[in-house]
Amino acid sequence: MTSQTITAAASGTWKLGDRTVHRIGFGAMRLPQHGEALVPGAVPRDRDQAIKVLRRAVELGVNHIDTAAFYFSPLRCANELISRALAPYPDDLVIATKVGPGRDPSGNWLPHATPEQLRGQVEENLRQLGRDHLDVVNLRIVGADSIAERFGALAELRDAGLIRHLGLSNVRLHHLAEAQAIAPVVCVQNMYGIGASPEQEEFLRICGEQRVAFVPFYSIAGSGRTAGASTGDSGEVLAIARAHGVSTAQVRLAWTLHRGPHVLAIPGTGDPGHLAQNVAAGALRLSEDELTVLDSIRHETA
């Protein structure tokens, strides 16, 4: 079976609230530009190319797409590309977005949204995606401060029918309990990949116990973060990739999926070949010995 014929169904499914998704999804952050994401003056990606990648992802069975209104370059915006490529949306497609951060029209970061400003960010996503409600909204934060007021504001929008499910992003463990006292949390989207710290592992494990989806970002990019994937794969990752005849990116993704049935991958790419590889990673089964080797790699992404 070649990468081209493996679909996202091979990765299995998970229920995000009342919505069933394949465990291999797609992150839209790479689509608006070439090169580094989230920087002013980034080089816009060709619109047709971005649209082709999105449509191919859905053809390959991807039904969980991560986005944000702040994913844009001077000429492209991830939400607009998603709307152009995929509307009218397939019934099974779950689009998850995130609020909290914001960028001005030139792409410079703004202070994070206050509880009062979150409604405007939710409405911005609704407008750009052309929807009447958002499937999943993650509150994306920085720091350790209380999220009660901000999450409470989103819970009110959920009660009002603008949001179906709520999640959290870039949070610490205490934030999960704080949010759950206010409204159900269906997912936690945090940085995670090979070399994760014991704290990151603990968070992933607790999410599994509580049936909360854990959605890692930068599982391929690692310490390259917004700049993208680096070439710095460790010897262990390279050896396992060679043994399976796959890329190191596929090993990285497959390893995250082996961490538990509640882990949902959202690899980002603007490259159709990489997209097919990433979807095919859902069919890659690593042996116990290989998992032990990969589990023991430390500080690659921490």
Ligand X SMILES: NC(=O)c1ccc[n+]([C@@H]2O[C@H](COP(=O)([O-])OP(=O)(O)OC[C@H]3O[C@@H](n4cnc5c(N)ncnc54)[C@H](OP(=O)(O)O)[C@@H]3O)[C@@H](O)[C@H]2O)c1
Q: Which is nearer to ligand X, 224 or 261 (CB)?
A: 224
Is 71 assigned a catalytic role? Answer: yes
Q: DSSP states of 125-178 as a string?
A: HHHHHT-SSEEEEEEE--SSS--HHHHHHHHHHHHTTSEEEEEEES--HHHHHH
**Smallest distance from ligand X to CB 69, Å:** 12
Residues 6+ apart with CB under 8 A from 225: 218
**Smallest distance from ligand X to CB 117, Å:** 18
**Where does this chain bind ligand X (CB under 6 A)?**
27-30, 66, 98, 140, 169-170, 189, 217-221, 228-229, 247, 249, 266-271, 274, 277-278
Q: Which is nearer to ligand X, 142 or 243 (CB)?
A: 142
**Smallest distance from ligand X to CB 208, Å:** 19
Residue located via tokens 């080089």: 43
Pairing of strands 187-191, 163-169: parallel
Q: Which is nearer to ligand X, 161 or 235 (CB)?
A: 235
Residues 6+ apart with CB under 8 A from 24: 8, 10, 11, 62, 253, 257, 265, 267, 278, 279, 281, 282
Q: At what angle do helices 235-244 and 288-295 cross, to 10 degrees?
A: 160
**Smallest distance from ligand X to CB 25, Å:** 9
Instruction: Compute the distance between CA of residue 255 and CA of residue 202 in angstroms, rounded to an integer.
Output: 16
Q: What is the CA radius of gyration of the chain?
A: 18
**Smallest distance from ligand X to CB 66, Å:** 4
Q: Which is nearer to ligand X, 3 or 290 (CB)?
A: 3
Q: Which is nearer to ligand X, 158 or 167 (CB)?
A: 167
Catalytic residue IDs: 71
